[in-house]
Structure 1
């Protein structure tokens, strides 16, 4: 087992000395209303039968005091997130926590359960509902609410109730405006890149333990199970909109471009309870997520929380969220919302104050810290997002990637630049000799940065790979953020051994359950990012598409190495394909099935089928496990 260096041990001891780690308030909140749980929870993948969650993997957290290889603040958060089971928040309102990265929440209606955020996977959601039924009775699901468009809040719906039953009983599914478009675009168009980077962010390939994956900050871990996507039947389009679901009155607050592009909070007046979705959690959240996504609007985010305080603060004795644990009591609710509001406002305003003084994002990130009044509250600490990368996100949102220095306008790409850097510094041996001395001095940030040039100049240099891995490892051991720790340790692991195969049950852009919810336009947009544009230049063709079951007709046209589409059938199309709408998704998910579908008559072809072959011959599959810590 790799050991923490004496520099890392000292840094972590300093954190422990500076924070009231023994404060019991959060543990009391976590354990409030606990009804039941399992001593050991094991959830298996439906197809492979392999465990996707085994709580015994986190038994190393039994010890109260953090080992030298884990930031003691993150250790505390991990022990809190480790708690799992069924909880009554107030009579009629329940949560299952610790079965997934997210929480599954339930409200007792007149006839059944209103389920809020049915988790990431079918398997974990089913296990959560089994616990509910065992202890609260076998009631039907009468409504489903998605708080927002991230996959850990909708993809487990098939585990809450069979999708056939959902359709047959016409169970209402409520979501914020724009939910479907955002859920699909985030998980499909950029899916392969996000899935690969998410493997680093959530430590999917790391061993569980004090030298590996400890926690994600926002929750225990992300299960690699089966996913589905059911389109909402009801959209919330305005703040103040009300619905009564199964006899329960709900007042909604729309919060777009906050933690997600499509998100909402909502209030239960009779329960005096506010669902804060993921806009408020027991962490500082991400304004930019390290897996990659659109930068979030910190100013709007803070204003939404302020609006919640004005709308619901005086009529709420409970605030619960899609992650972590609730806040209970009017005073605790208001103090919590104010602190969360002011964390995002401070990050926004102070980043822009420094930017307007001429500081660039790296300088701002190095200089900025939360004030003690905010940093002293555990719920604002950087267990997930950090001041450092959130300040960069604010800068990027307003000013973009360019810092204004013309030397940075057109730099060499990493591999070419690294070769020059190493040459200028006297060669790899000279760099490594100085880097080893800096490593012994505890300068891990610099060692990771400078030795990265040696690795990119010569990825076969095993001495450089090991030294960089060792530096990344110590940075991970010191990180308070679960995401930072996982990134550092995943990078170290891949420097020491080959990139792992993609986890079972995950597929990025080829995830057909998500693709089935795509519109025709979304499918064609996906083809556009699969097109090898440079190779396609000089090829011009048009494909017509007709879907008799939906009455839609489309044209997909290739010109100048780019694909465009529109909802009408051009008369000069080279070929027209007629098929059921669902077949389009199936064919795009598996291009090799096209000849079979034509041969068996599922797809009728009118025109030059060779045009179709030319188009499909220009499409490429994304690389699932591209290199990150090496060229």
Structure 2
């Protein structure tokens, strides 16, 4: 069986890819990084630091893997949890304290301390308020709409909040925590200076950064790039990401951090440059691309998020939601638009015929737009819905990223499409991506 570090080496050298070993996918397990530091590769990752006062754990668990991580860590390490650090408030990072706290209580040990940025509790309160919405969108993102995601409304709240930077010592080990607006506004990264270990949280995920998620709130690409450069300036020997595989060696770590920063800087600066020239969103989306020398790097593949989505997010940050098309400011209802399009085309059947033709020709963007109009114009027509479902399914199978696959699969399922047996039919998008291997149609 391949080790996590073995896969990490093969990823770096090009012997395998993140399309086979998705950053969020298996194998899962605990491995030693260096003296006193352990790394649990999971859906999201967990890092453990040994001190003479107890354990420090960065992102103890997520809502889906608590029962996996706690016993795995306890098989190797028995010291009590002294401090947990939440790198940010996403639900795959802020669980897992409960078991350690209960253990401390049984043993008469002080409760664990939980460190986070001051904005993290505000995020958790928002999650409670929007639980239904988050359940729906995460069902699309990770399950293709096939299986409902039960969104949590109970959390372990941090008790030590900081603003921009926090330095502290646990036992014999110094720890540095720094704030960086990036994937979230409450994001932290952690550095263990004695071991030169960098814990990036989701500021590095061994893929195109999650700076554009189409279903989530604002990201901050420019500040994110600045944070990555600050990390590189510390000359870490080990990069332990929030998702994906570790990177070992000062030169490799610096390369990964600085190239990821360069990608974000490029997308940010080019988007802003075109905005300053008066370009609308459509022109910007069709003009901004990833530099060729970055596009083939093993740790910058669009296996989860995509640069196109990042450009949209950057535009939203600086330009709000108006996309520059005047008719979009106060548009006619979509169904009314669809009825007119169908009338001009000579009927819904002709719209769908053209949609299917575009799909066969590989013009999936136009095929889906036409299919939308056909379904809106004839929402009760089973034949139209079936054809549209096939179009969306075919498009989903062409997509490299988890996010695009999830949304298109959810629409295919809503329209009644028969999903391929196996992982997709069971709503396991990431596993389907891993099974697909080097990017090609599923």
Compute the TM-score of the two structures, normalised by the length of structure 2.
0.85
- The offset of 1:160, in angstroms, is 4.4
- Where 2:74 maps in the other structure, the secondary structure is helix
2:194 is aligned with 1:270:
yes
Q: Residues 221 and 265 of structure 2 are in contact (CA less than 8 Å); yes or no, is this contact kept in structure 1?
A: yes
Q: In structure 1, how many angstroms separate the alpha carbons of the residues matched to 2:193 and 2:29?
A: 26
Q: What is the rounded CA distance, in whole Å, between the counterparts of 1:188 and 1:80 in structure 2?
A: 25
Report if aligned partners of 1:203, 1:487 keep a CA contact under 8 Å in 2: no
Q: Which residue of 2 aligns with 1:57?
A: none
Distance in 1, Cα, partners of 2:410 & 2:161: 39
Distance in 2 (CA, whole Å) between partners of 1:287 and 1:118 is 23
- Please name the residue that 2:389 is paired with: 469
Runs of 4+ in 1 over 6 A off after TM superposition: none
Rounded to whole Å, the distance in 2 between the matches of 1:102 and 1:387 is: 22
Q: Equivalent residue for 2:168? A: 243
Q: 1:543-594 CA deviation, whole Å, 9 max, x = no partner?
A: xxxxxxxxxxxxxxxxxxxxxxxxxxxxxxxxxxxxxxxxxxxxxxxxxxxx
Whether 1:117 aligns to 2:59 is: yes
Specify whether residues 440 and 225 from structure 1 end up closer, same or farther in structure 2 by C-alpha distance, changes over 3 A only.
Answer: closer
Q: Aligned equivalents of 1:237 and 1:30: distance in 2?
A: 39
Contact 1:252–1:264 (CA under 8 A) maintained in structure 2:
yes
2:433 paired residue number: none
Indicate the residue corresponding to 1:303 in structure 2: 226
**Cα displacement (A) at 1:181:** 1.1
Deviation string 1:258-314 (CA, Å, 9 cap, x unpaired) is: 111111112111111111111112011232323332x2121111111122223x12x
Task: For residues 359-403 of structure 1, give each alpha carbon's deviation from its aligned partner in whole angstroms, at most 9, with x where no partner exists.
Answer: 322332233221122112121121222111111111111112213
Tell me how far apart the structure 2 counterparts of residues 338 and 362 of structure 1 sit (CA, whole Å): 29
Match of 2:210 in 1: 286
Change beyond 3 A, Cα 1:416–1:181: same
Deviation at 1:229, TM superposition (A): 1.3
Q: Which digits, 9 at most, give the CA deviation of each residue in 1:429-476, with x for residues without a partner?
A: 221222232233232221111111111222211222122221222221
Q: 1:562: which partner in 2?
A: none
Number of residue-to-residue matches in the alignment: 412
Tell me the distance in 1 between the aligned counterparts of 2:78 and 2:29.
17
TM-score by length of 1: 0.61
TM-superposed CA distance for 1:206, in Å, is: 4.3
Provide the residue aligned with 2:136 in structure 1.
196
Alignment of 1:467-506 (within 5 A): 467-496=387-416
Deviations along 1:234-281, one digit per CA (max 9) or x if unpaired, are 122233x311124321022121x3111111112111111111111112
Structure 1: tracts of 5 or more residues without a match: 1-23, 33-64, 66-71, 208-221, 499-631
Judged with a 3 Å threshold, the aligned counterparts in structure 2 of structure 1 residues 398 and 238 are, in CA distance, closer, same or farther, namely closer
Paired residues for 1:338-377 under 5 Å: 338-377=258-297
Q: 2:283 is paired with a residue of what secondary structure?
A: helix
2:143 is paired with a residue whose SS is coil
Query: Is the CA contact 2:23–2:244 (under 8 Å) kept in the aligned structure 1?
Result: no
CA contact (8 A) 2:178 2:188 kept: yes
Instruction: Note closer, same or farther for the CA distance 1:326–1:30 as it changes in structure 2 (3 Å cut).
Output: farther
Q: In structure 1, how many angstroms separate the alpha carbons of the residues matched to 2:157 and 2:23?
A: 36
Q: 2:21 aligns with which of 72, 77, 86?
A: 77
Taking the TM superposition and a 5 Å limit, the aligned residue runs for 1:173-188 are 173-185=114-126, 187-188=127-128
Greater gyration radius: 1
C-alpha RMSD of matched pairs (Å): 2.9
**Which stretches in structure 2 are left out of the alignment for 5+ residues?**
419-442
1:84-483 map, 5 Å: 84-98=28-42, 101-121=43-63, 124-134=65-75, 136-162=76-102, 165=105, 169-185=110-126, 187-203=127-143, 205-206=145-146, 228-239=154-165, 241-255=166-180, 257-293=181-217, 295-310=218-233, 312-313=234-235, 316-483=236-403
- 2:436 aligns to what? none
In structure 2, C-alpha distance between the alignment counterparts of 1:246 and 1:296, rounded to whole Å: 36
- 1: CA distance between counterparts of 2:285 and 2:125? 32
- The answer (yes or no) to whether the contact 2:390–2:412 under 8 Å persists in 1 is yes
Mapped contact 1:156–1:226 kept (Cα < 8 A): no
SS in 1 for 2:98: helix
Describe the superposition over 1:102-131 as per-residue Cα deviations: whole angstroms up to 9, x where unpaired.
Answer: 11221112143211112222x622321211
Report how far residue 333 of structure 1 moved.
Answer: 1.0
CA contact (8 A) 1:126 1:159 kept: no
Mapped to 1, the partners of 2:345 and 2:6 lie a distance apart of 50
Residue 352 and residue 422 in structure 1: after superposition, are their counterparts in 2 closer, same or farther (change >3 A)? same
Q: Which moved more, 1:224-233 or 1:371-380?
A: 224-233
Equivalent residue for 1:602? none
The one-character-per-residue Cα deviations of 1:180-232 (angstroms, maximum 9, x if unpaired) are 112222x133332232111111126549xxxxxxxxxxxxxx98597741221
